[in-house]
Amino acid sequence: MTDWQAFTVETKDHVAQVTLIGPGKGNAMGPDFWRELPEVFQALDADPDVRAIVLTGSGKHFSYGLDLPAMSGTFGPLLADRALAAPRTDFLVDVRRLQAAITAVADCRKPVIAAVSGWCIGGGLDLIAAADIRYASAEAKFSLREAKVAIVADVGSLQRLPGIIGEGHLRELAYTAKDIDAARAEKIGLVNDVFPDQEAVLDAAHATAREIAANPPLVVQGVKDVLEQRRKDEIAAGLRYVSAWNAAFLPSEDLTEAVKAVFEKRAPEFRGQ
């Protein structure tokens, strides 16, 4: 397969392992990630030798989420000329491109198993929500962090997590932007199981992937297709709505303050403006 900037891809015995490698700290999701993610999963979808996919992160962490400094160009024009239609339209196009990148994981016909260690924040949570199965190591931590940076999460968590953890748990995570540990994630159904450490969770993900790969591949793909039909239209409509909502309402003094606080490494002061 292609040499990727944000991923490595290895295939053995009908199981592909896709590993996030950055280049941002903590496998943060910058331009390379968003460009390459759909290409990686479309290639795996088309590869007849691949029957299941393990998705994991390099180093200690799964992903810190959106690389705000690297992706600041997406927000900058919107904040500079927030009353104009052109930057809002450009932002809408950009958000829908990011949404499509995550959706490529959900749309892949091969089952995807996420093996999470360390932090899984924001966009990382969007990414594993698009997977079929989620495992965590005992030290893993999860956060639907967007509210703390004055953003309505818009690339999939709010649409996919209701079917995974239920409305009440999702609203708690989304409104508070709190961090939860692996034990809590297992209790609310965010992850299927928790394993002692990073090596153990990756081994477990591969073991499940091999079990899947041992079954008739077209039947497995058919099962996934049938399961996805139950919620596909609802998710798509939700993604369209939130992208339009953010294009209309995301520009704010609070968002400017959040971005400045990230660059200045300080706590933001939000004023509701």
pLDDT tens-place string over residues 154-182: 999 999 999 999 999 999 999 999 999 99
3-class DSSP state for residue 261? Answer: helix
List CB contacts of 135: < 8 A, sequence separation 6 or more.
Answer: 113, 114, 115, 116, 191, 192, 193, 194, 195, 201, 204, 205, 208
Contact (CB, 8 A) for 36 and 96: no
State mean pLDDT over 71-99: 83
What was the pLDDT predicted at 228? 95
Strands 15-20 and 7-12: antiparallel
State mean pLDDT over 13-39: 95
Mean pLDDT of the chain: 94
> Model confidence over 40-66: pLDDT tens digits?
999 999 999 999 999 999 999 999 999
> Model confidence over 192-230: pLDDT tens digits?
999 999 999 999 999 999 999 999 999 999 999 999 998
Q: pLDDT band at residue 82, thresholds of 50, 70 and 90?
A: low
Smallest Cα–Cα separation from 254: which of 236, 230, 270, 237?
A: 270
Smallest Cα–Cα separation from 126: which of 106, 141, 97?
A: 106
pLDDT at 74 over 80: no
Quote the percentage of the chain above a pLDDT of 90: 81
What does pTM read for this prediction?
0.95
State mean pLDDT over 113-129: 98
